[in-house]
Amino acid sequence: MKLAFIHADPAEHFSARLTKLFTGSTAYHCGFVDEAAGTMFDMHLLPRKCDWPRYAAPKWVVLYEVPGLTREACEGYLQRDSIHTYGWMDYLLFALRPLYHLVGKSTRNVGGLICSEMCALWLRNVGFNAPFDPVPSPADLERWAAESLHRHD
């Protein structure tokens, strides 16, 4: 299994420029990929299984090998997890994250989990220690993956 980070082109998408401004990266989404099966365990609203490749140009994908994470484990997480969806309030508070940090506070969460937070939980389930406090952005998780996992090009 591979941990996939989805990037957008800042020259073509204003949202990519905002994402880069707030997080230092154009990575805006992540999930787990089983290339051999053509499957992505997508962390969009609720964890779900969908076809891979899912994202087309002008988006870029960066993949990292995740030793110990199997397709069967991901299938099991889909069936057992009771993860709540996240909504507009979660997005808003996540965007205000730099302001929270200026006053020494952690980012609040209204109860839902963002994609990178779900991925970090699944990584912890197979023994990786992806330490995050506050909630990681996809850029935070990708920085951790670049130091801890093997990139697959």
**pLDDT tens per residue across span 89-112:** 767 777 777 787 778 776 666 666
Residue 81 host element (H or E):
none
| Band of pLDDT at residue 47, cut at 50, 70 and 90 | confident
Task: Tell me, yes or no, if the pTM score tops 0.75.
Answer: yes
**pLDDT tens per residue across span 83-93:** 655 666 767 77
Contact between residue 1 and residue 32 where contact means Cβ atoms under 8 Å apart: yes
Q: What percent of the chain has pLDDT over 90?
A: 26
Q: How much is the mean pLDDT over the chain?
A: 82
Domain CATH code at residue 48: 3.90.1720
Question: How far is Cα 100 from Cα 43, in angstroms, rounded to an integer?
Answer: 25
Angle at the Cα of 128 from the Cα atoms of 93 and 94, rounded to 5 degrees: 5
**pLDDT tens per residue across span 117-137:** 889 988 988 999 876 666 678
pLDDT value of position 107 = 66
The domain total for the chain is 1
pLDDT value of position 128 = 92
DSSP three-state, residue 104: coil
Task: Give the burial class of 92: count Cβ atoms within 10 A of its Cβ; 0-12 exposed, 13-18 middle, 19 or more buried.
Answer: exposed
Q: Which domain holds residue 126?
A: 2-152
